[in-house]
Amino acid sequence: MSIITGETPTSVDVGRTVVMEENQRLSASTDHASWDRAALTITSARAIFVIGNGRTGLALQMAAMRLMHLGLQVHVVGEVTAPAIGEGDVLIAGSGSGSTSSVVSAADTARAVRASVIAVTTAPESVLAQKADQVLLLPAADKQDHSGAITRQYAGSLFEQAVLLSFDALFHALWHNADQSAERLWSRHANLG
């Protein structure tokens, strides 16, 4: 299958190859021990809150859903039913640049009430990373990096994909360590609407 855009056809297979290869390379260069430590923080938290904007926020909402399937208390920041964060809770804050104002502000609020903050970012020296108790570094390009040196994909695509895949991997490990059947998780799946 080819998509014709102007003079040069580009195969969807070429795009698929780029996406898969870049994600494999990123995964191989990720500090897996930091994800193991984050998993312990997440599972020992009283409640888990997630925040991110745009596609990063959508990926974190998917992570929140899977953590809920494990039976954990999870909230998406900004939803009308999300309670106040407090001591013993953890905020998972995602921002590729580490400078998204609403995400940094949420980290400030979490710290003020003595909740833990886990930053998910491409920028280890960012404001968000400095405010975090733990940093999950995903070595992808910032969405304003158009050089093509780190990724051939548009904007923050590689980071956003890595957020989803990394949290799916974290969920998978937690699921198997929790010794819960798929049927048990399914019993928590949404059944309204």
CATH number at residue 111: 3.40.50.10490
Whether 107 maps to a domain, the answer reads: yes
pTM confidence score: 0.92
Q: Cα dist. 80→19, 47, 75, 76, 77 in Å?
A: 35, 16, 10, 9, 9
Whether 157 maps to a domain, the answer reads: yes
Q: What end-to-end distance do the CA atoms of the chain give, in Å? A: 36
Q: Cα dist. 108→111, 114, 116, 131 in Å?
A: 5, 10, 11, 7
Mean pLDDT of the chain: 94
pLDDT for 6 equals 58
Whether 87 maps to a domain, the answer reads: yes
Whether 108 maps to a domain, the answer reads: yes
Whether 75 maps to a domain, the answer reads: yes
Whether 54 maps to a domain, the answer reads: yes
Whether 22 maps to a domain, the answer reads: no
Range of the domain at 81: 32-186
Catalytic residue among 7, 22, 125, 160: 160
Q: Evaluate if residue 58 carries a pLDDT over 80.
A: yes
The predicted-structure confidence for 147-186, as pLDDT tens digits, reads as follows 888 999 998 999 999 999 999 999 999 999 998 999 999 9
CB atoms within 10 A of CB 100: 23
Check if 160 is active-site.
yes
Q: How far is it between the farthest Cα atoms of the chain?
A: 58
Top pLDDT among 11 and 95 is at 95
Whether 23 maps to a domain, the answer reads: no
Domain tally for the chain?
1
DSSP 106: H
